[in-house]
């Protein structure tokens, strides 16, 4: 599942764009989101409410850890009025 950037309009989600298409890896998705926001934050009108829905599965070899959500990413989210939703899916959705 890609990271889907959505605008909240009348309490409903309106898809804006997808980032990291076909990736279920949380690290890849967070890094792609930060890169996309660095290059495209001007697309997000901060007077609107935005959501980045990150759909991921747990790695089969996971033993802890994960991607950092950097201060830079958090600052860009605040500036754009963007919240991050983490949507965990079972491994059967990955295959």
Residue 30 near residue 39 (C-beta atoms within 8 A): no
Does the reported pTM lie above 0.85?
A: yes
> Does position 94 have pLDDT exceeding 50, yes or no?
no
Q: Please, what sign has the CA dihedral across residues 19, 36, 68, 63?
A: positive
Rounded to whole angstroms, how far apart are CA atoms 77 and 75?
5
**More confidently predicted of 35 and 66:** 35
- The pLDDT value given to residue 54: 95
pLDDT of 69 over the 60 cut:
yes
pLDDT at position 95 over 60: no
3-state secondary structure of 70: coil
């Amino acid at each position: 599942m890609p990271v889907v950037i959505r605008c909240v309009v009348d309490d409903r989600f309106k898809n804006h764009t997808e980032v990291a298409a076909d990736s279920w890896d949380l690290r890849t998705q967070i890094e792609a989101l930060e890169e996309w926001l660095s290059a495209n934050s001007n697309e997000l009108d901060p007077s609107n409410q935005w959501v980045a829905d990150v759909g991921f599965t747990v790695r089969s070899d996971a033993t802890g850890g994960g991607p950092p959500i950097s201060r830079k990413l958090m600052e860009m989210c605040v500036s754009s009025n963007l919240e991050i939703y983490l949507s965990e899916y079972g491994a059967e959705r990955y295959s």
